[in-house]
């Protein structure tokens, strides 16, 4: 690792510890030439994921944007938006896909919210699915009720 002070190419590691729940490693280093100490962070290099938006535009996946969207739906609710976004990001990275539709990400959020908090689920669905009127809300609640009943009775919900 190159020293930020003298640009020497050699340094020794004094301490290593995992950070960000093991997602990266923080290393304390010392330059063998000038003796200055500095910190480096080591993270796994990931393939960027492209999100195809509804209008056809492409954007790189941005977990922060996802967290903000989830937080809006979960305002004043006991839901950890950061945790949901991190699990979705992890699932996408583990799947090795390089492109995904924004609609598919929205469905991933809804699947998680359905199991965590129904109110947040309905809030997110209302924006994501662009409910235009009260009938759209009512229909979503009917579908949700059927899924919840079939889940409680042990049915898969595919028979309906």
Q: Establish if 137 belongs to a structural domain.
A: no
Q: Establish if 107 belongs to a structural domain.
A: yes
> What's the domain count of the chain?
2
**Structural domain span for residue 107:** 50-129
Question: Helices 118-128 & 63-73, crossing angle to 10 degrees?
Answer: 120
Here the tokens at position 151 are: 């889940």
> pLDDT, tens digit, for every residue of 33-53?
999 999 999 987 778 899 999
Alpha-carbon dihedral angle through residues 79, 146, 54, 109, given to the nearest 10 degrees: 20
Q: Quick one: which of 68, 153, 37, 130 has its CA closest to 145?
A: 153
Is there a contact between 14 and 64 (Cβ–Cβ < 8 Å)? no
> pLDDT, tens digit, for every residue of 97-149?
899 999 999 999 999 998 899 899 999 988 888 888 888 888 888 988 888 88
Integer Cα distance of 137 and 142 in angstroms: 9
Q: Establish if 138 belongs to a structural domain.
A: no
pTM: 0.67
Q: Establish if 99 belongs to a structural domain.
A: yes
> Which residue's structure tokens are 């990266």?
24
């Amino acid at each position: 690792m190159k020293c930020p002070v003298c640009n020497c190419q050699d340094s020794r590691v004094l301490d290593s510890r995992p950070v960000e729940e093991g997602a990266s490693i923080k290393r304390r280093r010392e330059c063998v030439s000038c003796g200055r100490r500095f910190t480096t962070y080591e993270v796994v290099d990931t393939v960027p994921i492209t999100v195809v938006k509804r209008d056809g535009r492409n954007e790189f996946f941005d977990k922060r944007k996802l967290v903000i969207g989830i937080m809006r739906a979960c305002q004043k609710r006991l839901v950890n938006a950061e945790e949901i976004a991190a699990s979705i990001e992890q699932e996408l990275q583990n799947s090795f896909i390089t492109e995904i539709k924004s609609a598919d990400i929205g469905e991933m959020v809804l699947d998680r919210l359905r199991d965590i908090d129904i109110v947040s689920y309905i809030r997110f669905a209302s924006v994501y699915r662009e409910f235009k009127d009260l009938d759209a809300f009512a229909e979503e609640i009917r579908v949700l009720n059927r899924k919840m009943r079939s889940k409680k009775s042990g049915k898969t919900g595919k028979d309906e």
